[in-house]
């Protein structure tokens, strides 16, 4: 993070704005909405600020900036058209440890003003660190459409019950679960439908009832994290990722997806690199059971889909043996996700009428597969975890009947910005890969459908958008005509 996200209380505290034009007026409006006492230092004021000054709503010091103007201020904003003055304000503020903002000059700022969605007391701030105010504004417009105005009133309702909830449910963890349950259930539905009084009565009854069994027991969420791109997660996966107390995750789960897990959840790395398992599978099974028996909600986060080479079946079996409640959330398996992003259709009427998934190595470390079944014409074979065994895979597929000229591809870190697709044949692919520094996760695709890749490839992380590209236009109904306060470096 380039900036630490923070909300500052400035009610009845002194704030300084240097500059008296329309840009300064926009900043002063925000400061006054937050209850700040604003002093403006400027030789002159625009009409809007003159009106505020005449009503006694701001204090005006009619001159240029002096260093002692910042004394006693909680924050300072520089909004002049004189770059030297703005620089002096920034230097003075930062030398005295006072938060300072210079409009549209992020390099001079110790804080920036985000784009905001205001549902007071609920507030949502969006920032790009000053790098793209337009992007922040577009995101703000999208969020505005998703967050009903009634959410602010709901936050106020909940605030009125917080102290009582602390008395009724002293345990912090159980209290958090209580709030999650009631706010995801009838209280939320009643409030959003306009029946606010009924929502309050329902919340009142829920507090009288106190903790129920749903708030005390442990549970395991086996969630497929997909092939790497966070946008490919399901809504259900995202919801459970935010509810978990502890997450047990594998090497194939990307850092971008881990960022979406609840911030205060405990994280346990289970490894699962080839020939190097931080935790053996048996120990992972025991860990899930122990954590759930302690009353925790455990997120078992797996790359791809839990039931496709993810050992989810083994884990579910053990959980059922011990009577542990669980939820299973499918994920986009690597074959579907990586092939799509590589531009390789796994089936095609002219090329493949069957699709086979195979593992690139067995539990004993060998690659002793049913090669006669795999090396069939008119089908696509996808090998998971086959990087180290690539030469053997290509040799055996050719030895058991497929022509050595059969197209084959290796997809490296598919669906991510680091994706690479190496294309060859059963004969040439091992040598092609040998000359590259390939990093797992990888996927191997064998079949004539691979020949379509050059024509159908669409996802090029390093290429600029072109006419007809999926990313050629950013204009959508949501962005056309979107308005609102944009994030500014000032």
- List active site positions: 250, 272
The answer to the question of whether 308 is labelled as a binding residue is: yes
The answer to the question of whether 408 is labelled as a binding residue is: no
- Tokens for 262, please give them: 């609840």
Q: Which of 344, 345, 341 is closest to 470 using CA atoms?
A: 341
Distance between CA 260 and CA 269 in Å, rounded?
A: 16
The answer to the question of whether 303 is labelled as a binding residue is: yes
What is the separation of C-alpha 365 from the centre of its chain, rounded to a whole number of angstroms?
A: 35
The answer to the question of whether 23 is labelled as a binding residue is: yes
Match 């949502």 to its residue by tokens.
124
The answer to the question of whether 414 is labelled as a binding residue is: yes
The answer to the question of whether 305 is labelled as a binding residue is: yes
The answer to the question of whether 158 is labelled as a binding residue is: no
The answer to the question of whether 43 is labelled as a binding residue is: yes
The answer to the question of whether 223 is labelled as a binding residue is: no
Are residues 225 and 187 in contact, defined by beta-carbon separation less than 8 angstroms?
A: no
Distance between CA 363 and CA 361 in Å, rounded?
A: 7
Distance between CA 347 and CA 336 in Å, rounded?
A: 11
The answer to the question of whether 227 is labelled as a binding residue is: yes
- In the Cβ-directed half-sphere of 470, how many Cα atoms lie within 13 Å? 9
The answer to the question of whether 407 is labelled as a binding residue is: no
Distance between CA 379 and CA 401 in Å, rounded?
A: 13
Q: Which residues are annotated as a binding site?
A: 22-23, 43-44, 227, 303-305, 308, 333-334, 385, 414
Q: List, as residue ranges, the binding site for NAD(+).
A: 22-23, 43-44
Name the binding residues for S-adenosyl-L-methionine: 227, 303-305, 308, 333-334, 385, 414
């Amino acid at each position: 993070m380039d900036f630490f996200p923070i909300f500052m209380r400035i009610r009845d505290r002194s704030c300084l704005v240097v500059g008296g034009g329309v840009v300064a007026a926009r900043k002063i409006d925000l400061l006054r909405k937050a209850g700040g006492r604003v002093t403006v230092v400027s030789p002159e004021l625009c009409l809007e600020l003159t009106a505020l000054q005449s009503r006694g709503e701001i204090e005006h010091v009619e001159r240029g900036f002096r260093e002692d103007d910042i004394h006693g201020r909680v924050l300072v904003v520089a909004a002049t058209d004189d770059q030297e003055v703005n620089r002096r304000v920034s230097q003075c503020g930062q030398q005295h440890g006072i938060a300072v903002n210079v409009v549209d000059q992020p390099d001079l700022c110790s804080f920036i003003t985000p784009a905001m969605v205001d549902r007071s007391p609920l507030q949502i701030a969006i920032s790009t660190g000053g790098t793209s105010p337009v992007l922040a504004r577009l995101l703000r417009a999208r969020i505005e459409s998703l967050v009903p105005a009634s959410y602010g009133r709901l936050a106020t309702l909940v605030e009125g019950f917080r102290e009582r909830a602390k008395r009724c449910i002293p345990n912090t963890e159980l209290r958090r679960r209580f709030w999650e349950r009631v706010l995801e259930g009838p209280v939320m539905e009643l409030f959003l439908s306009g029946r606010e009084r009924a929502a309050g009565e329902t919340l009142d009854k829920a507090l009288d009832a106190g903790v129920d069994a749903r708030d005390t027991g442990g549970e395991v969420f086996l969630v497929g994290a997909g092939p790497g791109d966070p946008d490919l997660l399901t809504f259900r996966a995202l919801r459970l990722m935010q509810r978990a107390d502890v997450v047990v995750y594998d090497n194939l789960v990307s850092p971008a997806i881990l960022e979406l897990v609840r911030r205060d959840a405990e994280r346990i790395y289970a490894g699962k690199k080839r020939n190097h398992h931080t935790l053996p599978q048996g120990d992972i099974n025991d860990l899930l059971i122990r954590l759930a028996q302690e009353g925790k909600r455990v997120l078992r986060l797996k790359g791809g889909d839990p039931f496709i080479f993810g050992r989810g079946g083994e884990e579910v079996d053990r959980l059922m043996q011990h009577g542990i409640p669980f939820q299973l959330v499918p994920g986009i398996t690597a074959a579907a996700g990586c092939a799509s992003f590589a531009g390789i259709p796994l089936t095609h009427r002219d090329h493949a009428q069957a699709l086979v998934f195979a593992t690139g190595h067995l539990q004993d470390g060998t690659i002793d597969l049913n090669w006669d079944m795999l090396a069939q014409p008119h089908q696509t074979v996808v090998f998971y975890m086959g990087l180290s065994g690539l030469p053997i895979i290509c040799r055996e597929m050719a030895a058991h009947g497929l022509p050595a000229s059969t197209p084959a591809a290796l997809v490296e870190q598919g669906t991510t910005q680091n994706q690479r697709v190496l294309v060859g044949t059963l004969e040439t692919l091992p040598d092609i890969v040998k000359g590259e520094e390939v990093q797992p996760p990888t996927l191997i695709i064998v079949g004539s459908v691979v020949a379509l890749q050059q024509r159908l490839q669409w996802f090029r992380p390093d290429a600029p958008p072109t006419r007809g590209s999926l990313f050629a236009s950013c204009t959508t109904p949501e962005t056309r005509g979107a308005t609102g306060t944009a994030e500014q470096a000032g």
